[in-house]
Structure 1
Amino acid sequence: MAWWKRLLVMALAAILLLGAVWWGSGKILPAMRRLSVTQEVRLPVLMYHGVHSNPKKAGDYVITPQALEEDLLYLQQQGYTTVVMSDLIAYVQQGTPLPEKPVMITFDDGYYNNYLNAYPLLQKYQMKAVISIIVGETDKYSELEENKENYSHITWDMVNEMMESGLIEIQNHTYNLHKTGKPRRGAAQRKDETAEQYFAAVGADLQKAQDRIEEMTGWRPNTFTYPFGSYSRHSHELLEQLGFAASLGVEGKPCCLTRDPSCLIRIPRYTRTSQKSAEELLCHFWD
């Protein structure tokens, strides 16, 4: 082969190689990145309610501060990093990375004993948590200024103090629908109401809660926490109309996150009772 032909072949080969590199960086690698962010991320979500200093109060929905501290120590020793709902939503919607071993701690109802007994422990271990408040109860006890460990709820001053720490994220647990009695259970649809009536009644309560939280804190919740885990066929549509990005349920299984927004619907949680510790709930989670 003549020297000029060899030179031409070498030049063409170089052009093809550069083109392949450019194509890979501009086309193939992004596709690989798209595949990577669709991989499933599993994380445990723990659900707490009351944290009471009297061991005699411990039960299905109440644990002692000592038990909570044991849970936090276990999570710390196992290398968990706490996240909140905004982190989960950012992962799903924007692909924002999560910690290598994430866990989410949640408290439902917004009891005063969460502020009294749980919040200091979260500060001690620098762990984050989500507190879903019954907004009507927070309004009520903000006026009463009656801080009783047995039954009181957190006030707006307490809410703002905890939020300002950067450790607590507040979410919506209805304004005044946290009730088990008939005809409505929590935020579920009544048997005797149409879809339109359901949207109007429950929508008004949830909107009132959203507006009140924003008015008192400057923060508008992105997540609705179903009371008792009760929901209906139209519940998710209603939440979408109200601007919620996610919801929390009560089913005891792992939370599996992808880039599909549907994975944020009724995120399952493990109920932490006085009979089963976080270690017992999570010891086989990564098996």
Structure 2
Amino acid sequence: MERTGMGKLVMQMAVTIALLGGICAWNLHRADERVAAMLEQGGVQLPVIMYHSILKDEARAGSYVLSPAALEADLDYLQHNGYETVTISELVDFVDGKGDLPAKPVLITFDDGFYNNYLYAYPLLAERDMQAVVSVIGEQTALYTESGQENAYWSYLSAGRLVEMQESGVFEIGNHSYDLHDDSVRKGCLKKRSESVEEYRQMLTDDTHLSQTYLAESGLTPPQCYAYPYGAYSDETEDILKEMGFRCTLTCEERINIISPGDPDSLFLLGRYNRPSGMSTTTFFEKALPGEGS
């Protein structure tokens, strides 16, 4: 009886696994069909690359620290393979029916707003006529604007440097919160369990408004794009940011995006591929660019 019972159990498990496999394959097929339909309707595949700190010191290399040489190799790879950088403004115009995108667009982003982005990334991009968005932590920008300190290892960009970078046309400025990048208080934009929806809304609105106001008063164009600290957000977050006028949000989920004309929502919750050290340019882009790994 035990053997018979075990045999039935094995058969049931095999049937269940087969069914789940069929369901997963069907879902993947449906997903592929949706993507194909979106592309046929004028949608464009948009890979988004996420960088953080750029440092020459190999001892600092890691998941969020890349060397200038590796960044240079990445930029050359993109250009050699026909990719053209786009800005948030161009993406907004595209979904609003006011402009076109290149055949192979790519969005380059830098999170946190480290001074070393100015020191190393800025000239590399400028030399190649490429653009990027740097999403800054408002509190850190204010702190280093006041102190005037500029150190590749630990300083953040001052308002003056940001104005220079924006006016050059190389960088757009994004919002990375004013003071939500300290996970000792909360995890990015996540709502605390103890907060009511009204309290959470007030907190996020106040923090975001503080950053937007500071940047505007510093002579910068108020950002249209919000990069979630740690990629963390709650159910209510998107609606709040949309009500505040944002046109784009950036996550840390790794996937290729489909941007569709006439669909402003396709610019929200954009997936991005984080660029770590310890991986060749070719290997990284085989993962991060559509069709490169096939």
Query: Does the alignment reach a TM-score above 0.5?
Result: yes
Matched residue, 2:95:
92
1-side partners of 2:279 and 2:230: how far apart? 19
Unaligned runs of 5+ residues in structure 2 are: 1-37
> Residues 105 and 185 from structure 1, CA distance in 2 versus in 1: closer, same or farther, beyond 3 angstroms?
same
2-side partners of 1:277 and 1:171: how far apart? 28
- Number of equivalent positions: 252
1:69-108, aligned counterparts within 5 Å? 69-108=72-111
C-alpha distance after superposition, 1:162-194 (max 9, x if no partner):
111111000100111112224x11111111101
Matched residue, 2:34:
none
1:1-287, aligned counterparts within 5 Å? 38-182=41-185, 184-259=186-261, 260-283=263-286, 285-286=290-291, 287=294
Instruction: Please state how far the C-alpha of 1:38 moved relative to its aligned partner.
Output: 3.4
Unaligned runs of 5+ residues in structure 1 are: 1-34
Larger Rg: 1 or 2? 1
Q: CA RMSD in A?
A: 1.6
2-side partners of 1:231 and 1:224: how far apart? 11
C-alpha distance after superposition, 1:47-100 (max 9, x if no partner):
000000111111000000001000011011111110111111111122521011
Greater than 3 Å deviation, 4+ residue runs: 35-38
1-side partners of 2:251 and 2:169: how far apart? 24
User: What amino acid does structure 2 have at the position aligned with 1:60?
Assistant: S
Q: Percent identity over the alignment? A: 38
DSSP 3-state at the match of 2:218: helix
Is 1:53–1:117's contact at 8 Å kept on the other side of the alignment? no
Instruction: Please state how far the C-alpha of 1:43 moved relative to its aligned partner.
Output: 1.8
2-side partners of 1:193 and 1:65: how far apart? 42
User: What amino acid does structure 1 have at the position aligned with 2:191?
Assistant: Q
DSSP 3-state at the match of 2:109: strand
- TM-score under structure 2 normalisation? 0.82
DSSP 3-state at the match of 1:121: helix
2-side partners of 1:271 and 1:188: how far apart? 21
Is 1:62–1:273's contact at 8 Å kept on the other side of the alignment? yes
1-side partners of 2:102 and 2:190: how far apart? 34
DSSP 3-state at the match of 2:96: helix
2-side partners of 1:208 and 1:136: how far apart? 9
- TM-score under structure 1 normalisation? 0.84
User: What amino acid does structure 2 have at the position aligned with 1:263?
Assistant: S
Is 2:166–2:220's contact at 8 Å kept on the other side of the alignment? no
Is 2:138–2:211's contact at 8 Å kept on the other side of the alignment? yes
2-side partners of 1:199 and 1:39: how far apart? 35
